[in-house]
Structure 1
Amino acid sequence: MAFDCYCAICGVGFSGMRVGSPSDATPDRRRRCVERIARSLEGTTTVDADEDEPIYTYDPRLVDSDNVAWTSQLHCLGMHDDATGKSRAFISGPGYYADAGELAVKIGQPSKRTYFNCYGFGTDEVPGPVMPFHWCCFEILLRTLTGTTEPRNVNLEALYDAMSSLCNWSGSALRLPYGEDVLRAQGKYWQCLPGAEYSVSHPGTSIKDAIQTHIQTNQNLRIPPVDIDITIGNRHPTNPFGTLPTELIHHICSLLPGDSLKSLIQASLFIHLVTRDNAFWKRFIESDIPWLDEADTHALRTSSSSPPTDLNYQLVHQWLDAATTPTYGMADPVFMGAANRRRIWGVCEELSRSYRALCK
């Protein structure tokens, strides 16, 4: 019986990526379809006798065949039963998803084509589950685990144990938070849902040029911080952080996720004042947005024409956070790849907790 299996890291399939054509559905019809699904997700759908037929292809204005080609590039992680050497775990060469849970990959030197059943009970040679993945997803996972994209820097046996502990033996993916849009697409076969194009956009797409252009041309990023008199009327607000050095407060704030820091700034006038420093926000961008690769982060500091000296880096952080948030109905093809990278990074951080516990 035919069925699809999905990447252990990003949750997306390896085949069946159908990109529509202009004649397949008009832009207005696609917009109505996305709006209808959005209302359904919000629980506000109303029955309409004149509703269009459902669309099961991606919007060609947002993705194309080149942009989704990465999904067919399959590798896998497995564990040999009687291998000798430093590690019994192995990473296969490239291959493809055959069907019904079977994948074909190249193994060994000289390489030969070998067939495995992913997420299944294995074979005599590889008795445990075999985890399939896209290579670009694996590189994101390596960055979360080691800070590099070098496979030799990771403990493959610990990674295999971490992944297999999250394996559904009769399932088609791991028990990981891939995101609602991806989980809805994981049926018997991969569902190409309009409005979720970001989830199949290449996560390695650089947004360096887009960042440089935006920070050079957007005057809203140059709004200076608003001075707020710490004396409000006759009241002098006190704060438990008030006795701490500014450097220590900055360090504490840098450990918070972006949403938590935003809430703290809104709740505390003192923290609002202390975190108006541009140098703090330059550092916070790098710590709060680690999935933005080094070249993209570097673009905030150096470019062919240096960034404006009056940039408000708190506003830059807010813009980057909003522009790259993976959201259903996202329609900016420039930032969709980065949004997908951010989604995958969140999955990898969840997996890294199990990995680091096993390494200890």
Structure 2
Amino acid sequence: MAFDCYCAICGVGFAGMCIGDPSDATIEQRGQSVERISRSLNCAEHTESSAQDEEPIQTYDPRLVDQENVAWTSQVHCLGVQDAAEGKTKAFVSGPGYYADAGELAVKIGQPSKRTYFNCYGFGTDEAPGPVLPFHWCCFEILLRTLTRTTDPKNVNLDALYDAMISMCNGTGSALRLPYGEDVARAQGQYWQSLPGAEYCVRHPTNTPDLEEFLKIQIQTNSSLRATPTELDLGNRQPKNPFGTLPPEIVYQICSFLPGNSMKSLTEASLYVHLITRDDYFWRSFIQSDMPWLWETQVLRDSLNFPLDLNYQLLYQFLNATTAPKYGMHDQALMGIANRRRIWGACEELSGRYSEVL
């Protein structure tokens, strides 16, 4: 029986990316379909008769993705193990190839390279005694960044990585037990489903040429990022709490380990933390620690003179909101980075398992 397998890192398939034709559905029809599905996702008990009457749209919006955007999904590599000396195995990363069907990969391996066939997530073969794990190369580079802060495979322990990933196989033979996101989970079936409204999931996550220009324009022209913080009227309040006994540098270090939502909660709960984290120095550092997937900010900082009155706390809040992966995204400058952020979340969980194996 034919079926699809999915990238072990991002959860997206290697085939079946169906892009609609402008004549398939009008802009209004696509918009209504996305809005209807969005409402149903936000309300578990939502029912609507029109949803039963209309033919569902099962293609991506051609205004948001094209064949060039999704070409990265069709090329597959894999991580597997080969027999080594003394009955041991050694992990390897294959060359490029393609997904044939029914869980079968055709990739290049060895020197000189030859076309070899493997079964995704399945039983081993003479060439690879254990299951092989398929992935897109750009997803592998994102994983390498989470593990080593570089994209060089030589800096990672492939044997430990293989063991970590194998331990997270989901038992269905199609992906790993990783938080790929609800939009990807809905698309994973016997075959990959091209769901309208989830186009960001198939936008290239590292080749994002429009992102830097978008950031430059926002930083230079968005006046809402320059608003000065409102002064607090403390009255007779004294910002005393357990954090108040610590030097600001120690509080900064503690905060650097918190995700954005937890940081927001802490500043609301602790007046002292709220006061000492109002300066730009803290938020410049927090952007780097909380958004490691947004490496373009470092490029921009090196190549662009940021406005002197830029408010970095507001910049963080703006970036956190606009890059969040969510159903119905339509800003093409942000869809790729939203996909990268989604993949980074899955890689961080895999990174924890990798550290345990090491």
Would the TM-score normalized by the shorter structure come out above 0.5?
Answer: yes
CA distance in 2 between partners of 1:5 and 1:236 (Å)? 59
| Corresponding residue to 2:213 among 201, 206, 209 | 209
SS of equivalent residue, structure 1 residue 67: helix
Partner in structure 1 of residue 7 of structure 2: 7
Distance 2:123 2:52 in 1: 48
2:357 aligned with 1:353: no
1:67 is matched with which residue?
69
For 1:109-128, what aligned pairs fall within 5 Å after superposition? 109-128=111-130
Alignment check: 8 A CA contact 2:83 2:89 kept: no
Deviation string, structure 1 residues 124-182 (Cα, Å, up to 9, x no partner): 23121100000000000000011100001100000000011111454211111111110
- Paired residues of 1:120 and 1:169 also in contact (CA < 8 A): no
The aligned residue for residue 25 of structure 1 is 25
Which stretch of the first structure deviates more once superposed, 219-228 or 250-259? 250-259
SS at match of 1:68: helix
1:238 deviates by: 2.4
Contact 1:119 1:168 (8 Å CA) reproduced: no
1:265 maps to 267
Counterpart of 2:342 in structure 1 is 343
Structure ranking higher in helix proportion = 2
Distance 1:86 1:166 in 2: 22
Match of 2:282 in 1: 280
Q: How far off is 1:74 after superposition? A: 0.4
- SS of match in other structure, 1:77: strand
How far apart are 1:17 and its partner, in Å? 0.5
Q: Which residue is 1:226 aligned to? A: 230
Summarize the Cα distance change of 1:282–1:123 in structure 2 as closer, same or farther, 3 Å threshold: same
For residues 122 and 85 of structure 1, do their structure 2 counterparts lie closer, same or farther at Cα, with a shift above 3 Å needed?
closer
| C-alpha separation in 2, matches of 1:84 and 1:291 | 41
Instruction: Please report how far the alpha carbon of residue 84 of structure 1 lies from its aligned counterpart in structure 2 after TM superposition.
Output: 8.2
Q: Alignment identity in percent?
A: 67
Q: How does 1:73-88 map to 2 (within 5 A)?
A: 73-82=75-84, 88=90
Q: Report the CA distance shift for 1:169/1:121 in structure 2 as closer, same or farther (over 3 A).
A: farther
Taking the aligned partners of 1:252 and 1:298, their CA distance within structure 2 comes to 26
Shift in CA distance, 86/145, structure 1 to aligned 2, threshold 3 Å: farther
Shift of residue 28, structure 1, vs aligned partner: 0.6
Query: Which runs of no fewer than 5 residues in structure 2 stay unpaired?
Result: none
Measure, in 2, the Cα distance between the counterparts of 1:25 and 1:309. Answer: 47
Cα separation, 2, equivalents of 1:358 and 1:100: 31
Quick one: which of 248, 254, 270 aligns to 1:252? 254
Matching residue of 1:200: 202
- Aligned Cα root-mean-square deviation (Å): 1.7
| Distance change in 2, residues 1:292/1:179 (3 Å) | same
* CA displacement at 1:60 relative to structure 2: 1.1
1:70 and 1:84 map into 2 onto residues whose CA distance is 39
User: Which residues of structure 1 form unaligned runs of 5+?
Assistant: none
- Structure 1 residue 49: deviation in Å? 7.4
1:37 & 1:357 partners in 2: Cα distance?
40
In 2, the alpha carbon distance for the partners of 1:249 and 1:280 equals: 10
What residue number does 1:296 align with?
297
CA gap of 1:298–1:127, structure 2 versus 1, over 3 A, is same
Aligned-partner Cα distance in 2 for 1:83–1:6: 32
* Corresponding residue number in structure 2 for 1:313: 312
- Is the 1:198–1:337 Cα contact (8 Å) retained in structure 2? yes
Letter in 2 for 1:311: L
Partner of 1:161: 163
Pairwise CA distance, 1:237: 4.5
C-alpha contact 1:202 1:337 (8 A) present in aligned 2: yes
8 A contact 1:104–1:116 mirrored in 2: yes
1:86 CA drift (Å) = 11
